[in-house]
Structure 1
Amino acid sequence: MKKIGLFITGAGLLLLGACTSTKLTSSWKTNDAQLQKDKKIMVMALVPQREKQLRALMEDNLVAELQKEGLNAASALRTYGPDAFGDKTDEKAALRQLRNSDASQVLTVVLLNKARERDFVPSSPYGPYGPYYGGFWPYYSRWYGAMYQPGYYQTNTRYNWQSNLYDLDQRKLIYSAQTQSVDPPTAVRQAYLYAKLIVKDMTKQQLIAQN
């Protein structure tokens, strides 16, 4: 995140610290779907070529988190290499390749959008406050300064991701989730938080059985 301007109050600093986030925006699963420990999940990330480091990180972190839950997960990048599933690969060839690796499910991770957005942040946000019992002037001067202190502009980078889990035997989608990451400090951190969030939601949705 880049901020423009030097007018930052205490409240502004709180906003500044809160702008980095990773959150789940939606998720869904089919009724009664549950991952089995004896079935292999192939994790496949689809990102622009220039983000190839991020592809490896997303796959590796998801594989690690799924394995912590006792599931048999593997990275498509590490199993097949970077060019195994190109635009010239047809469905039959892709399915044959996956089944030759004993994969029963495929978890795709797609970078839907990456965009930079410029937002204005006021110097003091409005909100509910409790009663004030001090003198008139300290109260008035505090709010006067907040009301007339200029805010600042900040530029955020937003990543929108979607994960879909497909059952190859049934040939259907059994789970889908969308997330948004705002200004992740590093690709490593973004991939780590994303994997934690997705596996946590899978558990919440009872897709991953709790021990």
Structure 2
Amino acid sequence: MKRLGVLLLCIGLLSITACTSTKLTSSWKTPDARLDTSKKMIVIALVPPRDKKLRILMENELVNELQKEGFNAVSSFAKYGPDDALSKTGDEKAALHKFRNGDVDQVLTIAMVDKTKSSGYVPSYPYAPYYRGWYGGMFTPGYYTTNVRYEWDTNLYDLGQKKLIYNAQSEAIDPPTAYKQASQFARQIVRDMQRRQLFAKS
């Protein structure tokens, strides 16, 4: 019975982990906005320097998803390298000014607007599972949990028209890995762009 209790506890913890995800919470686009996939787009993640690995993953995964749809997309990290001061400062206006004077037509910014940690205690509780016709009392000990929550703000600018044409708000709670968060985020953003008919599905 002790083994059964441990098994049930593990299943419960795995269920909690499986429910954590990255999700889109809201989005909008400018009426009648339509993207030309042949135009050059640069993707830049505005994150703190300590999250450089996450920055690279967020940019690369979104670039990969956009390229699958035929976009001429490139990551800021790939173009400017690890010492890109724009990402370090998180200055979106400075980024737009820099790219406006280059060979870029569209800029997609991914800003980490919040990253918070919270701790909580899950109290112990008794329960009595039915096992082969026998009811046996069991006990699950309490435990502490730590949750990490990310908030992302995504903006797509058309430099020729000098305006914002798309925005999306996203959150991730306890992503299992940085890659998983970046991969889920990228797929959701591109799917939402398709849903809002910013470009035709390839």
CA distance in 2, matches of 1:22, 1:61: 14
Aligned ranges 1:19-168 → 2 under 5 Å: 19-81=19-81, 82-85=83-86, 94-95=95-96, 97-99=98-100, 101-121=102-122, 152-168=143-159
Say whether the 8 Å CA contact 1:39–1:104 is kept in structure 2: yes
Deviations 1:115-173 (A, max 9, x none): 1122455779xxxxxxxxxxxx98xx69x97xx86664421111111111111112111
Say whether the 8 Å CA contact 2:25–2:170 is kept in structure 1: yes
Q: Any unmatched runs of 5+ in structure 2?
A: 1-5, 126-132
CA distance in 2, matches of 1:149, 1:77: 47
C-alpha displacement at 1:80, in angstroms? 2.0
Say whether the 8 Å CA contact 2:21–2:181 is kept in structure 1: no
CA distance in 2, matches of 1:94, 1:160: 20
Taking structure 1 as the reference length, the TM-score comes to: 0.74
Specify whether residues 186 and 14 from structure 1 end up closer, same or farther in structure 2 by C-alpha distance, changes over 3 A only: closer
Specify whether residues 11 and 77 from structure 1 end up closer, same or farther in structure 2 by C-alpha distance, changes over 3 A only: closer
**Which has the larger displacement, 165-174 or 62-71?**
165-174
Give 1:110's aligned amino acid: A
Say whether the 8 Å CA contact 2:118–2:147 is kept in structure 1: yes
1:191 and 2:182 are equivalent in the alignment: yes
Taking structure 2 as the reference length, the TM-score comes to: 0.77
Q: Alpha carbon RMSD of aligned pairs, Å?
A: 3.1
C-alpha displacement at 1:18, in angstroms? 3.1
CA distance in 2, matches of 1:186, 1:13: 17
**Which has the larger displacement, 59-68 or 34-43?**
34-43
C-alpha displacement at 1:90, in angstroms? 10
Specify whether residues 28 and 120 from structure 1 end up closer, same or farther in structure 2 by C-alpha distance, changes over 3 A only: farther
CA distance in 2, matches of 1:73, 1:90: 18
Percent same amino acid at aligned positions?
A: 53
Specify whether residues 90 and 165 from structure 1 end up closer, same or farther in structure 2 by C-alpha distance, changes over 3 A only: closer
Q: Any unmatched runs of 5+ in structure 1?
A: 1-5, 125-136
